[in-house]
Amino acid sequence: MKMLEEARGKWVGSLNEVVIGATKQQGGTRTSTVTVGGEKTLPFLAYEGPTKNRPVVAMEIWDREPEDWPNSLMEALGDAVKSPAEWAKKCVEEFCAEMLCLHLMGTHPDFGNASPQSAAAVVKSVLAATGVPLIIWGCDHDETDNEVLPRCSEAAKGEKCLIGAVKEDNYKTLVSFCLADGHSLIGLSPIDINIAKQVNILVSEMGFPLDRMVMYPTTGALGYGLEYVYSIQERSRVAALGGDKMMSMPVICMVGQESWRTKEAKASAEEAAGWGDENTRGVFWEIATATALLQAGSDIMVMRHPAAMTAIKNVINKLVK
Amino acid sequence: MKTYSVTFLPDEKTVQAAAGKSVLEAAIVAGIPLNSVCAGEGVCGKCRVIVKAGKVEAEPNGFLTRREIQRGMALACRTFIQGNVVVEIPPESRISGIPQLASEDAIRFGRISERVGDGAAFPRNPLSGKEYLELPEPSLTDNIADQERIYRELQGRRNLPAMQMGLSILQKLPELLRESRWKVTALLGYRGGTTEVIEIEPGDTTARHLGIALDVGTTTVVAHLVDLQSSETLATKAKYNSQISLGDDVISRIMYSRTNERLKQLRDLVVNDINDLITGLVMDAKVKFHDVAYIVCAGNTTMVHLLLGLNPANIRREPYVPCAVMPPVIRAAEIGIKINPRGLLLALPCVSSYVGGDVVADVLVTGMTDSTDLSLLIDLGTNGELVIGNSDWLVCCSASAGPSFEGGGITCGMRATDGAIEHISLLPGGETAECSVVGGGKPLGICGSGLIDAIAELLRNGCIDRRGRFVSKGCSAKMIRETESGEKEFVICPGKGTVLGKDIVLTEADIDNLIHSKGSIYMAAECLLAHVDLTFNDIKHIYIAGGFGNYLNIERAVEIGLLPDVDRNRFHFVGNGSVQGAKMALLSQDALHYIQVRIAGAMTDFELSSDHKYMNEYSSCLFLPHTNIEKFPSLKKKNRNLSEGARNSP
Amino acid sequence: MALKALDIFKLLPKTNCKKCGCPTCLAFAMKLAQKQANLDQCPDVTAEAKAQLEGSAAPPIRLVTIGTGNSKLEIGNETVMFRHEESFYHPPGIGVVIPDNLDDNELNARIEAVEKLQFVRVGAHIRSDIVAVENVSGQADPFAKTAAAVQKLDLPTVLMSKEPANIDKVLESCKDKRPLIYGASADNWEKYAAIAKEKQCPLAVSEADLDKLAALTEKVKAAGVEDIILDLTSAGISETLQALTAARQLALKKNVRSLGYPSLAISSSAQTAGEQVAECCTYIAKYAGIVLTGLHHPEYILPLLTLRQNLYTDPRKPIQVEPKLNQVGTVTTTSPLLITTNFSLTYYTVEGEVEASRIPSFIGAIDTDGTSVLTAFASDKLTAEKIAAFLKSDAVKDKVTHKKVIIPGYVAVMSGALEEESGWKVLVGPREASGLPKYLKTVWKSE
């Protein structure tokens, strides 16, 4: 196939591989681990080379029952949302999630103000409930995260979790804990590729290993800033493949969180006449957001609706075969 | 409207002011220029005064501590007169001192004789000439008009295709010629497309023929008195531009000038400054005002507008349109400048709203258009302008660097005048190793070059991370402390060694401001290079011009990412290119023509505010030296040590 | 290969005479490089310079027009692999495939459904802008009937059939509508090419792989058909994605003229709706000039149209939201009223934070040409006068009884002027949007 040969890009770099989860032999209690990253090509271009590790979908669960998620989402999840451990179990056993993202929204001062100790207890309960690797995400309120996440890091010591997130002006505390407790770290940047790189540099200058870092360039849902993130992720991938070691981290996307905030996901049939079936609109919005970001270069997709997750997993399998 | 008296100490000056006027306004009337970065809006905190006695109404603000307010301290622009008052102006609020002048010996461009004259690039043909004429008396066989007689004689000596003579000269001409027995001196001046016979004087006055080269800078005004017969510079003088009290930078001055009255106020301030300088020059050189026939001035576009009384309002509004970039030659007296009453004034052409005659002059002085070598010129003054090019083409842009290079917006920042820490080096741990202060005395504050040194040193010692935030582990505890509002600051010089008795500190916000400023310049350079598909490596010469630019430590500037990491031999200091370029034009019409056609007329200006590369990548320059360390290869080794050091520290 | 600005400059007279309307020859060269000016504007350019400059102007991917009149679709003429390098220029047509074996009711319903696939997003009209008729029955009459019915939509049309004669028949009545002919492949291309040439319509060609496709397009071009569309639909999403990407790469970077045409991809209906939506999104993102699907409900198509709108915005121009008063949550007349700019990123950030605060609020997006707060303030686009006018406008003035307005922290200096101009009480909000939840809960609550 001469043409495909001709079309190959000449890349000199690759993404780092990050392993999340530790089995018994490795010092944890997970029954499976997940490896992301490692790509040497643009997304899914088999003619440039095989995809080393397929992108992974994680399901998002909260440490408290969400209050304003639309019906179409809540109905699919059922009562399990009342308990993080139940929710975790349902995700893995019924929806076949390969990874979980525990979002500690209950610790936010405005949403429950749960204590660091209770957050750590939730972490332990979720780790006990299932064997899949775990992402632990704070509430994005700096002072709270600086108290809560270190306790969670300790509670999960040895499990090689992925913990989020550090920012350019708030990274020192969490970096020390994750370094000591063996976890990987998510670096957050506000839709700015330069700040993304700066976060990576600052964190690595504290001695944190590059292959335990994941980037979160912030996710914008379809129709609500998607294209900004899309281009940043494409630029990041090109930079990594071009050899920039400080941009060679796998990328995580909060697809569920962003797409289920949109009007298209939430509006009732009366409010959005002409937009189609209110029970499935949100699912397709989540699918479309995820698909676009996969093409831009993503490694971990954190999603909410089981049907959207299934569709994306199937699509990934087809793209990677 | 009631008026009250306002007495300023220690100047012992008293003025009358209407009730409700601010102390700042009264100070301007009293001729005591006060610092005001924000032109009186109440948001910079630099115009502190102490109300010793009398009734005032002071607006609350966030800049003064309770103790200071109890002491009677207030912001002059937010304090309004309600009775007879006595006000003390502390040293840190004054625009005082004489600005440091660029040492012209330091740079090879200073020798005008090398650029203008025999064997040089430009022949000597000053914009103003004097010719002593012994005219043949009229006779029946030669009875052409008096005016034509003069023209004929002059055209026999010089190539003067077009000439003009003013009505007031003609009105006295017949009598003057006959009384002086046809022996007169004609004073000539370049007037755009023609040569004007500016004045006819009896006898031979050719021995006294002077011109002035004037740099009208945003912060400083510099004047050189030149003997137009010998090309020698007889005297130089400089002072701070009094417009500073109505705004530190061009934008705030443009915003201030929104009424005709205020436009006039701004013009009067700079015209008075220029007249003061001229008086000083004339006295120093022991000549007369009358002998000064021609002024060539160079300044950025806004300064030229304000000097000539042109409305600058649209300069700062998209799409950024100046009133004129090639103003006509005028009579200096038209704008109130006191030289020969019929003397002329020419402003060097500007290019666009933000790239003016000063940058055009810099280009001439560097000689960058003489060769096919690619050059980059950076004019680092109150504003920052960049030019890239060679003998074939020129591109330029303006970078909105902000006032931090001049000390504006910096807690203990000041201009490079007496008391400013201009260079500093630190020991590991953060204590001062060496520190040099302008004027040699105790430090009052820190100026731009000192700030750059300090930040480079703090980075090297691991006291700050590459985003400019303090890292307590890198610095000994007593150097970094937390204020009552929870902010961290670094003590450069403890109070007991300073003029004010207060610690001279550097806060994270100060460092952030400087990082933003240096980022603007570096990013502007990269954008301009990108427009012509070049990189720093293609540039053979990097010229640094502008007031602040002269005191820069190149190595430190590279370490923080203000200047690119190229062979240090490529850097050259230009000194005050503005006044030197003005001088070259004054001494050579050819040089002026070259400026008009080959420089100003050829420069292609780029507007960065709508440049998407600038907007996308600016944040990459907010790292020390840069997010992409590969751009600074000679620093990579140093940085490896930095991160290793951090890893090994407890 | 496109010439760079400096190279173009070297070919110009370099007199800076300004006759072209630009201040310098270099400025003119820059505009020529960006295709924003025409060489004819320079009266003094030499003949050789002209020849050199014009030689490099042919686009690497042909611009092909399908349909006519206002609803015509222009695709191709793309210049980059990644939108961030420059921009994507011609949004792909997104269309529904209507089979010719529906009964009358079904057909009408289908056509009505397609008609409804029009929406307004951020002030722009987006719609399914192409439609395909597929000759599933294999017979001429149903095909012709369906094609005729579809004309009601007044959209550019794709006529899909394995029988060239059937296409020819349909074209008798609609050739002047310039439909795209689909069905040509290795074993039957001559007949299709003849029809396409005669009826002056664009032709889509299919082949097993890119090498064979490149050879085929050369033959088709030699036969007199220049408006070619590459049908890159392959066995599955992976193969199609690779074909789309490789074709674009080869046309742009390797100058393979035989692949220098817009491409088309059809999503397979042998999968769930979710997977079909994902497949279409993939093709929209990755270089397709036309994307066709059997799905026709709004919940499937709106995401596709939105994705197209997002990715085909010029990244160099800021996106603006409509300047108007927006509501977040169930607002009342005592809800807070915040001011921000109409730069989409700024607006969405503020909206997101207000949502997170769970305090229903009004947000006024002021027209600042899509610039952020600081930029707008510095360039006089966000002024007290503008905000005051907004507050006094009918859309706003009676919405709240309290007459208090919250302005962004960065423009605190305008509070005095704004109070004077508007008569409202001005509250200065936080500098960063992230401070809004706290601000609304503490400062606003205590007002």
Model confidence pLDDT, tens digit, residues A273-310: 899 999 999 999 999 999 999 999 999 999 999 999 99
Task: Name A184's bridge partners.
Answer: A162
* Of the candidates B517, B504, B486, B512, the residue with the CA atom closest to the CA atom of residue B411: B504
Task: Name B14's bridge partners.
Answer: B7
Q: Is B437 in contact with B443 (CB distance < 8 Å)?
A: yes
The pLDDT of residue B295: 98
Find the mean pLDDT for residues C72-90.
95
Whether the CA torsion A100, A106, A108, A111 is positive or negative: it is positive
Helices B508-531 and B448-460, packing angle to 10 deg: 100
The DSSP 8-state label assigned to residue A251 in this structure reads B
Q: Is B392 on the interface with C (CB under 8 A)?
A: yes
- A169/B643 CB distance under 8 A: no
Q: Is A26 in contact with C237 (CB distance < 8 Å)?
A: no
Q: Which of residues 422-441 of C touch A (CB under 8 A)?
A: 437, 441
- Hey, what CATH class is A34-264+272-320 in? alpha beta
Q: Is A155 in contact with A136 (CB distance < 8 Å)?
A: no
Residue in C14, C26, C379 nearest the CB of B318: C379
Element (H, E) at C405: strand C404-407
Domain range list for chain C: 5-55, 64-311, 325-444
**B and C: number of Cβ contacts within 8 A:** 43
Token pair recorded at residue B190? 């370049």
Q: Is A99 in contact with A34 (CB distance < 8 Å)?
A: yes
Asked whether the bond before B319 is cis by omega within 30 degrees of 0, the reply is yes
Min Cα distance C400 → chain B (Å) is 30
Q: Could you report how far apart the first and last alpha carbons of chain B are, in Å?
A: 69
Question: Which of B470, B616, B618, B644 to probe the A interface (max A CBs under 10 A)?
Answer: B616
Q: Check whether residue B244 and residue B351 sit in a common domain.
A: yes
Cα–Cα distance, B28 to B26 (Å, whole number): 5
Model confidence pLDDT, tens digit, residues C298-320: 999 999 999 999 999 998 887 78
* Of the candidates A276, A314, A294, A288, the residue with the CA atom closest to the CA atom of residue A72: A276
Instruction: Look at the domain C64-311 and name its fold.
Output: TIM Barrel (3.20.20)
C chain contacts of residue B612, beta-carbon cutoff 8 Å: 315-316
Q: Is C23 on the interface with B (CB under 8 A)?
A: yes
The DSSP 8-state label assigned to residue C87 in this structure reads -
CATH code of the domain covering residue B556: 3.30.420.40
A chain contacts of residue B617, beta-carbon cutoff 8 Å: 194
C chain contacts of residue B318, beta-carbon cutoff 8 Å: 379-381
Q: Is C354 on the interface with A (CB under 8 A)?
A: no
Model confidence pLDDT, tens digit, residues C268-293: 998 999 999 999 999 999 999 999 99
**A and B: number of Cβ contacts within 8 A:** 40
CA distances from A95 to A90, A255, B488 (A): 7, 17, 50
Of B143, B177, B202, which residue constitutes the final position of a domain? Answer: B202
- C26/B318 CB distance under 8 A: no
- State the Cα angle at B186 between B183 and B190, rounded to 5°: 170
CATH code of the domain covering residue B331: 3.30.420.480
Q: Which of residues 466-485 of B touch A (CB under 8 A)?
A: 466-467, 469
Q: Which phi and psi (to 5°) does residue C131 adopt? A: -135, 145
Token pair recorded at residue C193? 């090419």
**In the predicted model, what is the mean pLDDT of chain A?**
95
- State the Cα angle at B68 between B66 and B72, rounded to 5°: 110
Looking from the CA of A236 toward its CB, the CA atoms found within 13 Å total: 38
- B647/A206 CB distance under 8 A: yes
- B532/C5 CB distance under 8 A: yes
Of B325, B357, B389, which residue constitutes the final position of a domain? Answer: B357
Q: Check whether residue B447 and residue B384 sit in a common domain.
A: no
With CA atoms as reference, the chain B residue closest to A170 would be B469
In sequence order, what E strands does B203-321 have? 210-216, 220-227, 233-240, 292-299
- C250/A220 CB distance under 8 A: no
C chain contacts of residue A55, beta-carbon cutoff 8 Å: none
* Of the candidates B27, B19, B4, B17, the residue with the CA atom closest to the CA atom of residue B74: B27
The pLDDT of residue B638: 60
Q: Check whether residue B351 and residue B383 sit in a common domain.
A: no
- C285/A292 CB distance under 8 A: yes
- B620/A197 CB distance under 8 A: yes
**In the predicted model, what is the mean pLDDT of chain C?**
91
In a domain, B99, yes or no: no
Tokens 């520190």 correspond to: B435
- B533/C4 CB distance under 8 A: yes
Residue in A169, A198, A207 nearest the CB of B623: A198
Q: Do the strands A184-188 and A213-216 form a parallel or antiparallel pair, or are they unpaired?
A: parallel
The pLDDT of residue A148: 96
The pLDDT of residue B225: 96
A chain contacts of residue B641, beta-carbon cutoff 8 Å: none
Q: How many CB atoms lie within 10 A of CB B566?
A: 18
Residue in A197, A206, A207 nearest the CB of B627: A197
Asked whether the bond before B600 is cis by omega within 30 degrees of 0, the reply is no
The pLDDT of residue B523: 95
Instruction: Give the type of residue at C72.
Output: K
Q: Check whether residue B420 and residue B489 sit in a common domain.
A: yes
Tokens 């029955």 correspond to: C137
The pLDDT of residue B198: 95
Token pair recorded at residue C94? 């997104």
Cα–Cα distance, B599 to B224 (Å, whole number): 23
Q: Check whether residue B305 and residue B336 sit in a common domain.
A: yes
Find the mean pLDDT for residues C222-249.
96
The CATH superfamily of C5-55 is Electron transport complex subunit B, putative Fe-S cluster (1.10.15.40)
CATH code of the domain covering residue B22: 3.10.20.30
Q: Is B512 on the interface with C (CB under 8 A)?
A: no
Q: Check whether residue B308 and residue B188 sit in a common domain.
A: no
Cα–Cα distance, A57 to A302 (Å, whole number): 6
Task: Name C119's bridge partners.
Answer: C126
More confident residue, B487 or A120: A120
Q: Check whether residue B154 and residue B64 sit in a common domain.
A: no
Q: Is C330 on the interface with A (CB under 8 A)?
A: no
The pLDDT of residue B319: 87
Find the mean pLDDT for residues A313-318.
96
In a domain, B47, yes or no: yes
The pLDDT of residue B650: 40
- A6/C299 CB distance under 8 A: no
Cα–Cα distance, B597 to A187 (Å, whole number): 53
pLDDT bucket at C361, cuts 50 / 70 / 90: very high
Residues of chain B whose pLDDT is less than 50? 103-108, 641, 643-650
- C379/B602 CB distance under 8 A: no
Domain span including residue B252 = 210-357
The pLDDT of residue C289: 97
Cα–Cα distance, C134 to C95 (Å, whole number): 12
Cα–Cα distance, B364 to B387 (Å, whole number): 12
Q: Which phi and psi (to 5°) does residue B7 adopt? A: -110, 130
With CA atoms as reference, the chain A residue closest to B616 would be A192
CA distances from C439 to A317, B410, C409, C436 (A): 46, 28, 11, 5
- Interface confidence (ipTM) of the complex: 0.96
The pLDDT of residue C144: 94
Tokens 């990594």 correspond to: A240
Model confidence pLDDT, tens digit, residues C171-218: 988 878 999 999 999 999 999 999 999 999 999 999 999 999 999 999
Residue positions counted in chain C: 447
Tokens 């240096």 correspond to: B518
The pLDDT of residue C412: 85
Cα–Cα distance, C263 to C214 (Å, whole number): 12
Q: Is B618 in contact with A195 (CB distance < 8 Å)?
A: no
Question: Which of B393, B599, B617 to probe the C interface (max C CBs under 10 A)?
Answer: B393
pLDDT bucket at C55, cuts 50 / 70 / 90: low
Q: Is A247 on the interface with B (CB under 8 A)?
A: no
Q: What is residue A88's three-state secondary structure?
A: helix
Looking from the CA of C361 toward its CB, the CA atoms found within 13 Å total: 28
The pLDDT of residue B481: 85
Instruction: Give the type of residue at B536.
Output: F
In a domain, B100, yes or no: no
Task: Give percent of chain A with pLDDT exceeding 90.
Answer: 87
pTM: 0.84
Residue in A193, A194, A201 nearest the CB of B466: A201
Give the full edge-to-edge strand order of the sheet including B480-482. B480-482, B488-493, B504-507
The pLDDT of residue B383: 78
Q: Is C81 on the interface with A (CB under 8 A)?
A: no
Q: Is B266 in contact with B246 (CB distance < 8 Å)?
A: yes
Token pair recorded at residue C85? 């390098």
Q: Is C413 on the interface with B (CB under 8 A)?
A: yes
With CA atoms as reference, the chain B residue closest to C9 would be B393
In a domain, B98, yes or no: no
Q: Is C265 in contact with C288 (CB distance < 8 Å)?
A: yes
The pLDDT of residue A210: 95
Q: Check whether residue B313 and residue B412 sit in a common domain.
A: no
Token pair recorded at residue B314? 């649209």
A chain contacts of residue C279, beta-carbon cutoff 8 Å: 315
Token pair recorded at residue A40? 């040497």
The pLDDT of residue B480: 84
Residue in A194, A198, A207 nearest the CB of B647: A207
B chain contacts of residue A168, beta-carbon cutoff 8 Å: 467
Q: Is C90 on the interface with B (CB under 8 A)?
A: no
Min Cα distance B607 → chain C (Å) is 12
Name every residue whose Cβ is closer than 8 Å to that of residue A293 and which is 6 or more positions away in sequence.
Answer: A219, A226, A229, A230, A233, A253, A255, A301
Element (H, E) at B187: strand B183-191
Find the mean pLDDT for residues C43-57.
81
- State the Cα angle at A215 between A210 and A217, rounded to 5°: 150
More confident residue, C123 or C4: C4
* Of the candidates A263, A261, A237, the residue with the CA atom closest to the CA atom of residue A248: A237
Cα–Cα distance, A286 to A312 (Å, whole number): 9
Of B93, B118, B140, which residue constitutes the final position of a domain? Answer: B93
Domain C325-444 has CATH 3.20.20.140: no
Task: Name C364's bridge partners.
Answer: C325, C339
In a domain, B314, yes or no: yes
Cα–Cα distance, A226 to C315 (Å, whole number): 12
Find the mean pLDDT for residues A251-259.
97
Name every residue whose Cβ is closer than 8 Å to that of residue C40 and which is 6 or more positions away in sequence.
Answer: none
The pLDDT of residue C59: 84
C chain contacts of residue B516, beta-carbon cutoff 8 Å: none
The secondary structure of chain A in percent helix, strand, coil, rounded to multiples of 5, reads 45, 15, 40
C chain contacts of residue A287, beta-carbon cutoff 8 Å: 274, 277-278, 281, 303
* Of the candidates A222, A275, A220, the residue with the CA atom closest to the CA atom of residue C306: A222
Domain range list for chain A: 34-264+272-320
Q: Is B615 on the interface with A (CB under 8 A)?
A: no
With CA atoms as reference, the chain A residue closest to C299 would be A276
Q: Check whether residue B485 and residue B448 sit in a common domain.
A: yes
In sequence order, what E strands does B566-618 have? 571-575, 603-606
Token pair recorded at residue B418? 């007496």
Task: Name B22's bridge partners.
Answer: B80
A chain contacts of residue B627, beta-carbon cutoff 8 Å: 194, 197-198, 201
Instruction: Give the type of residue at B324.
Output: A
Domain count, chain B: 5
